[in-house]
Chain A
Amino acid sequence: MDRRTALRTLGWGGAGFVLGGLGDVPPALAQALRPAGQAADDLAWNSGGPLVAYPEKLPLIVLTDRPVQLETPRQFFRHGFTDNAAFFVRWHLDLHPNAIDLSAWRLNVEGNVGRALSLSLDDLVNQFTPVSVAAVNQCSGNSRSRFEPRVPGGQWGNGAMGCATWTGVRLRELLEMAGVRPGSVEVQFEGLDRGRGPAGRGSHRYPKSLRLDDPVLDDCLVAYGMNGQQLPMLNGFPVRLVVPGYFATYWMKSLTWIRVLTQPDENFWMKTAYRVPADLRAGRVATVPITRMPVRSFIVSPDGSARIPAGLPATVRGIAFSGNGAITRVELSLDGARSWREVRLGADHGPHAFRTWEATWTPRAAGEVSLAVRAIDAQGEVQPDAPVWNPGGYVWTRIERQVLTVGRSA
């Protein structure tokens, strides 16, 4: 049973934990089980783990169970905002919180500041002006399973992303209140998760840092609200950092320490991990920390799980986003990325959010059709149709395809 069949068979009503005893589908088997006629580049949209319901969550696809990494199934991207209960989860260290006592928890702003701060959730909610932003949170390794040659790491399909309205306090306001002192170069963020590796190693703590002169700091929020509710424990309750436009590695969950540094952060998660070639397309060897998300777009439905009758108008729907500015145009191809036509864009929720799109298409003749989608952002950046390989398996941006089979209607 492949994932698509599995999802269809199981439906969404189940409330159990491991549903229906669905086991893992090894990649080779998934390949063999592809519906007949499916093109080799028509990859499974999601990864192939079991569906399991976690606390505060609907059944999601398990990549790993300790620490927890969960992928959002394709169906949840039919809308421009992703339900909290369906939002993907990616922890690095296995001692991430099950239970938090807000009478003891404080957000600490410290380091090279004039006045260190220690703020309760109540302080954050009531002493600052709430600010909201709709923004996409996407894992750096989203779609890693598409790299060829394959790359070790979290074998995500396309579901390590989501869009929410985040509400909280401006990072700038906290830094101004604490007073950043001269000689500061970076600001470090650390959450409550811990690992069982030795102190000083990446297996023990997961801090991430941004340069103090990075303009993205102006957009950052310390968010206590996610789509009008508190954050699920697995998505970083009580607060997480929101870095609009940047990959999720900086969006620190259960954010508890904000430290102003006088030296560049050289911890494992900055110096070794989450780095990409300085010039991705030229494949240069020097690496830099990963930052903004290049433009991407996706076909959400139809998903190829059923044949489409010729002559019946079908609505093709999907989403697009970019970390480099608003989506200005989305184009659909009905001939495997040879010719393109513009599609209708849905509601605009700001430059950092998912932009939904749709197109009506009436298949004329029975046979196989290869749909493809590409988006263009405010910088004029167009999605490439060539895979850009890098050893970390980050920043996948290639044009997505969906092969559909059209059947006769009489």
Chain B
Amino acid sequence: MKGARLAAVLAALVVGGAPVVQQPTLPPGVVRAGEYRVSPPAAPAPVVRGAVYDAGPFPLSTPDLAPGEGRDATVAMCSVCHSVRYITMQPRLPAEAWQATVRKMIDVHGAAIPEGVAQQITGYLLVHYGSSAR
């Protein structure tokens, strides 16, 4: 149950598929980066200010993950760096591949996922997106 409470807290960090995380300092010249919207306007607002080139926000089409135990933790943790379309895009992967993928996010990419939550996420991915799912 402690895991479930933690997951609920994590899920609260995520609004509409996009995480509320402090942005790193943007390099010089970047006016806006990483701006995504579920339904952006059909055309970006025209910018006539001198040297600013504005493409507008990028449309989100993030799918809902399958309901089940571990979904909230999965959405919260994975969505920090990327949308969960990265999950739904994958073929039905065998257990080793999902385990290695979660480990890679933690060990290589530095995702701050507590051990218990990592197990919850891996278990969820195996059940719903693994090669023996459904």
Contact = CB atoms under 8 A, between A and B. Distances in A.
B39 A17 contact: yes
A202 B108 contact: yes
B24 A196 contact: yes
Contacts, number: 177
B84 to A, nearest CB: 9
B33 A97 contact: yes
A402 B90 CA distance: 24
B59 A99 contact: no
Contact of B30 (A62, A97, A155, A195): A97
A100 B58 contact: no
Given A52-B61, A55-B58, A65-B58, A106 B29 contact: yes
A50 interface: yes
Contact of B91 (A27, A49, A68, A202): A27
Interface in A124-143: none
Given A101-B31, A145-B91, A194-B33, A201 B110 contact: yes
Given A27-B91, A65-B60, A155-B90, A96 B33 contact: yes
A193 interface: yes
B106 to A, nearest CB: 11
Interface string B84-96: 0110111111100
A150 interface: yes
B109 A197 contact: yes
Interface in A104-162: 104-106, 145, 149-150, 152, 154-155
Given A50-B61, A64-B82, A195-B81, A152 B53 contact: no
A97 B32 contact: yes
Nearest to B90: A152
A94 B81 CA distance: 7
Among A67, A94, A268, max chain B CB count under 10 A is at: A94
B52 A101 contact: yes
Contacts of A94: 34, 36, 81-82
B35 A98 contact: yes
Interface residues of B, number: 56
Contacts of A4: none
Interface in A228-271: 232-234, 237-238, 256, 268
Contacts of A28: 92
B92 to A, nearest CB: 7
Given A99-B52, A99-B55, A203 B110 contact: yes
B28 interface: yes
Contacts of B33: 95-98, 192-194
B108 A55 contact: no
B24 A95 contact: yes
A110 to B, nearest CB: 13
Among B39, B82, B88, B101, max chain A CB count under 10 A is at: B82
Interface residues of A, number: 61
Contact of B29 (A27, A105, A194, A202): A105
Nearest to A145: B91
Given A66-B58, A99-B47, A103-B50, A150 B36 contact: no
A410 interface: no
A66 B62 contact: yes
B26 interface: yes
Contacts of B54: 98-99
Contact of A65 (B56, B83, B93): B83
A15 B109 contact: no
A288 to B, nearest CB: 19
Contacts of A197: 81, 109-111
B13 to A, nearest CB: 12
B27 interface: yes
Contacts of A23: 63
* Cβ-closest 5 pairs across A and B: A105-B29, A95-B34, A233-B55, A99-B31, A203-B109
17 contacts: A15-B42, A17-B39, A52-B59, A55-B58, A65-B58, A65-B83, A66-B34, A66-B83, A97-B55, A98-B33, A105-B29, A150-B93, A152-B90, A192-B29, A202-B108, A202-B109, A204-B110
Interface of A: 15, 17-18, 23-24, 27-28, 49-50, 52-56, 62-68, 93-106, 145, 149-150, 152, 154-155, 192-198, 200-204, 232-234, 237-238, 256, 268, 272
Given A52-B59, A64-B86, A98-B54, 12 more contacts: A24-B63, A55-B55, A63-B89, A65-B36, A65-B58, A94-B82, A102-B52, A152-B97, A192-B29, A194-B26, A196-B24, A256-B29
